[in-house]
Amino acid sequence: MHVPDPDRVNILLVDDQPAKLLSYEVILSILGENLIKANSAREALEHLLKTEVAVILLDVSMPELDGFELATMIREHPRFQKTAIIFVSAIQITELDSLRGYEAGAVDYVPVPVVPEVLRAKVRIFSELYRKTRQLERLNAELEQRVAERTAALEASAARLQESEQRRSLALAAGQMGSWDWDPRTGEVVWDSGQCRIFGVDPAEFKPTFESVKPFIQTDDLTRIEALMTAGLPASGTFQTEVRIIRPDGDVRWCICAGAVTSDPEGPQPRSLDGVVRVSGVTIDITGRKRAEEALRFLNEQLEHRIDERTRERETALAQLFEAQKIDTIGQLTGGVAHDFNNLLMAVLGSLELLKKRLPAEDARSQRLIDNAVQGAERGAALTQRLLAFARRQELKPESIDVGGLVSGMEDLLTRAIGPGISLSKDLPADLPLVRADGNQLELAILNLAVNARDAMPSGGALSVVGREHRTLPNDPATPRELPASAYVRLEVSDTGIGMDEATLARATEPFFTTKGPGKGTGLGLSMVQGLAAQSGGAMTVVSEPGRGTKVVLWLPQAEPEQAGAAEPDSGQASRDAASVSHQLTVLVVDDDLLVSAGTAAMLEDLGHRVIEANSGAEALDTLAEQGQAVDVVITDHAMPGMTGLELARRIRDAHPTLPVILASGYTDMQDLAAYGDVPRLAKPFRQSELAAVLPAARDRRAPEFRPGELASSG
């Protein structure tokens, strides 16, 4: 029997055109949610009355009821007043139409043609908000249930205490009450057996007098009683007070002492012991009641403490939820920014490379200016890599890395980066196992940590890099909790700098958080390092104290034996492959960015190849249909509107099975890359040498192999 996933939410797709419904289903299927389709307003309302829906994707123009009217009807129902409604419109939306839509209850608009990434992002945000809201409602319900249970238990306890108090009152009336009589004129005191029992004395041995009773009474209470008897008897002739009695065995008993004053009928109304001939009263032991009150007070304090703890836990959970949503949103934003920035850098770098080749060699000043511009563009490319590393969206190329050799190879770079006032030491055993990671990104991570350490030691200090083998066990307290039991290499980068306090350490890995002051840091260094460690299957920990420096530990997985023994690629192979293309190729360049397309075409033409440009997937297919077998290689961008590079590659495979395709992109979703398979790719921005090297590699491979359903998953 199939059990539905409780965490999946329902998304209602409403459109009178089946083809559009099918396209929405293909675009949104990657989200993994339940997609419900309706061809009319009537069918949509039937689904809503039977099903809880998180998001409604609603066509504006439909017969019977248009989108505005249907949205108004939905909002009038109490169940759907907060349901997210996204309008899809194929016509130009005016400001009045937008206002009408928002008044009808829409939360967003999506124009047609629909951009799959935009539609998925909008639906994903409202789906997650609905899911998290339901989770919070369940947490609230559980909290209220626990509070109700605890309150019921407290009320039952109070009822039992009250019943016990009633039974105790009967017992006191029978045996926990003593009577006494005192004659102030003679000092004679008379106790009954109940009074002796309360004080814990033997009636046969103890003779009560005012003086002999004083040691049994707590000092503060005795002072109050003496003041009452000597100077403050009430005009009514009766009094009552609480006293604490210390019995011979050390037990303290709480008692109520109530008395009545008998005065000389011929004398004045007594205000003190003058004229008093008799004071009679009773002593009631109320210790049980006092203890019950203490117990009840303790239970109330415990309940309040637990409610406070649960409230703090709930507030913490809410804060963590909002923080996770914020980080995910920032990650999506940075990935998109990196993609656009890489396109700009692609045009800049390509043009600079070609310009440098055309400048006279003797024009040193111009050559130097070109070199400076290239270095600036490359630094921009490095920044986009940091952004992608933070967003965990860069394409890593894991390989078997000798950490000791990698650090030794960049020792000169590290020494220049930290400056002469800081000493560098290494402790990397020769037999340290290889790790599985992206070598370039690991170099960048170590350099980032070194620069952070330098800034933390403005007066100089010491920087150490230590590597150790570590094999974790289940529930190992010495390793981060998120790491599974396996074999790792601990790479520790420690400094003797100013360190961080707890508040700064708690925010150290937050994106864009920096203590370096305006213009002195991006705040992405530790975020990038943490992203690299997580994507590599490891983790990062930071230990720091003010005045005692900082230690950053990277936990990197060891390479498997077959990975460690794999032959490293020949460093000169790329250049030999580039040289092997000795004849002119006809290359179809597909990119929606005209600057990138023109720059790529210029580099190819400079290499001696013939170039055909297309600015969309559809235009590329038309060009191939016209050119036939004249095209030797296709170089296509991935993130294009209308048709992605992956979809274009699939269409080319269907029509031209042997035509090789090269995917060039500054940002590609990892699931898309996995679906595409082992196909030559160019990471933007790329140099002319990289472009020349990938052409023979592409010609030596067959067109990409796709699996059923792959296109829907890649988006």
pLDDT of residue 152: 87
Structure confidence at residue 322 as a pLDDT band (50, 70, 90): low
Q: Is the pLDDT of residue 434 over 90?
A: yes
CA–CA distances in Å: residue 537 to residues 328, 484, 555, 556? 19, 9, 9, 7
Structure confidence at residue 120 (pLDDT): 87
More confident residue, 287 or 712: 287
Using alpha carbons, select from 611, 614, 664, 613 the residue that is nearest to residue 639.
664
> If you average pLDDT over residues 422-442, what whole number do you get?
88
Q: Which of the given ranges, 236-240, 420-424, 508-512, 515-519, has the highest pLDDT on average?
A: 420-424
Q: What pLDDT, on the 0 to 100 scale, is given for residue 465? A: 92
Q: Is residue 40's pLDDT more than 80?
A: yes
For the segment 491-542, what is each residue's pLDDT rounded down to a tens digit?
Answer: 999 999 988 888 877 777 776 566 655 444 544 567 778 877 888 888 888 8
Please tell me which residue, 266 or 527, carries the higher pLDDT value: 527
pLDDT tens digits along 94-126: 666 667 767 766 778 888 788 888 888 888 888
259 C-beta neighbours (distance < 10 Å), count: 21
Q: Give the per-residue pLDDT at 156.
A: 85
**Mean pLDDT, residues 173-191:** 78
| Cβ contact 84:58 at 8 Å | no
What would the mean pLDDT of 309-318 be, rounded to a whole number? Answer: 78
Q: How far is CA 45 from CA 21, 71, 203, 250, 667, in A?
A: 17, 10, 89, 78, 40
Q: What is the pLDDT of residue 589?
A: 93
Question: Percent of the chain having pLDDT more than 90?
Answer: 7
Q: Which amino acid is at 269?
A: Q
Classify residue 420 as left (phi > 0), alpha (psi -120 to 50) or beta.
Answer: alpha
- For range 154-171, the mean pLDDT: 68
- pLDDT exceeding 70 applies to what percent of the chain? 75
pLDDT band, residue 704 (cuts 50/70/90): very low
pLDDT in tens, 330-362: 666 666 666 676 777 766 777 777 777 777 767
Report residue 522 as tokens: 């991006």
**Looking at this protein, which amino acid is placed at residue 608?**
G
The predicted-structure confidence for 543-592, as pLDDT tens digits, reads as follows 888 988 899 998 899 887 755 544 444 434 444 444 444 578 889 999 98
Local confidence band at 616 (pLDDT 50, 70, 90 cut-offs) = very high
Q: What is the pLDDT of residue 213?
A: 86
Run of H or E including 508: none
Average pLDDT taken over every residue of the chain: 78
pLDDT of residue 51 exceeding 70, the answer is: yes
Which pLDDT belongs to residue 94? 64
Q: How confident is the model at residue 326 (pLDDT cuts 50, 70, 90)?
A: low
